[in-house]
Structure 1
C-alpha cells in the first residue's frame, strides 16, 4: 500500500469525522440522545448511527462503483427528501415525549435500533456524493472499499464524540433530570424547523418538485 494512498485514507478518516457533524445528522441524533439518561446510552446512540450510515454507504457505494455508473440526480434528491421528512417525524415524536414529560424511548434496544435506522437513511441520502468522491479519489475497487470503510470509521468516531458530549449533563445527577422534558421539546422543535427547511431546499431550490 503506497504512502500516497495511506494519506488518502487518512483524509477519508478526517472527512468522515467532519461529515458526522453536518447539521441534519446532528439534529436527527440529538432527538434521541437528548432522551437518554446515562452517558453510555447517549454515546451508543452515535455509534449505532455511524454503523447504519456506514453499512448503507458501503452497500450502495460498492454496487454503484462496481457497475461503473452514477446515481441519477432525481433519485439522489428523493433520498435527500426522505431525510427532511425523517427530521420532521423525529421532531414530532420528541415534542410528544417532552410534552408528556417522559423519556419513553430510553430503552436501550429500541434506542439503538432507531439510531441504526436513522444512520441507514442518512447513508442512503449521502450515497451519491460518496460514490462521486470515492471514484475521483481512488484507483481500484479494493481501494474504494477501504476508503469507504475508513470514511465510515470516521463518521462513527465523530458521532460518538458528539453524542458523548451531549450526554455529559445527564451524569450530573437527579437535578438535571427535571430538564429532560425541556431538552426533548427543544430538540424536537429544532428538528421540525430544520426538517421543513430541508424539504423546501430539496423540493424547490434544488428542483425536485419543479
Structure 2
C-alpha cells in the first residue's frame, strides 16, 4: 500500500520536481500539491494524506503555522518540515508542533524518500546539519510580551505608538525594550529585531 503525500512548497519548479521524483518510488504516491499554507491546511484536512511535506516559509501561512494548526486539530497526518534555514527558533517551534521530520531542502531525493518511510514507521528524522553546529540549540530568551513589542518595533513604531497599541505607558515600553537590548546584547531596537529574526525568535 502506497504512502500518500501532500507537498506544500511555494516555488512551483521545486514543488514539481519533488513531486515527480517521489512519485517514481513504488511505495510513494503524491496525493496533492499546495502553493501556500492555506492550501496546504485545506488539502491536509480533505485528502487526509499519510505525510505532509511543508516548506517553512510560504505565503498566507508558514509551514510552522500549518504544522501548529494541524497539531491542534489532531490530524493523523505526519509532518515533515523542509527548510533552508538552520534557525534554532524554527526548530524549537517545529518540535512543539509535534513534527516528525525536519530536513534540509537540498537533501538527496533518496534520503528524503527514506525519511518518509522511517517517519511512517514511527521514527523522527532530522538533518544532522540542523542540529549540530554552533548556537543551534539557543533557547529564546524573550518573553511573549517582549516578542510582541519587538514585532511592533520592527514595523517602525516608536515607544509612544507601541504604548498606545498595547495600552501601556511609554515608560513601561522603554523599560521593556531596554531589557530586550540587554538580553540580546544589541545596540538599538533595529539590531535587536535583526538578531531575533535571524534566530527565528520572532
Q: TM-score, normalised by structure 1?
A: 0.22
The structure carrying a bigger strand percent of its residues is 2
Q: TM-score, normalised by structure 2?
A: 0.23
The structure carrying a bigger helix percent of its residues is 1
Structure with the greater relative contact order (CA < 8 A, sep ≥ 6): 1 or 2? 1
Larger Rg: 2
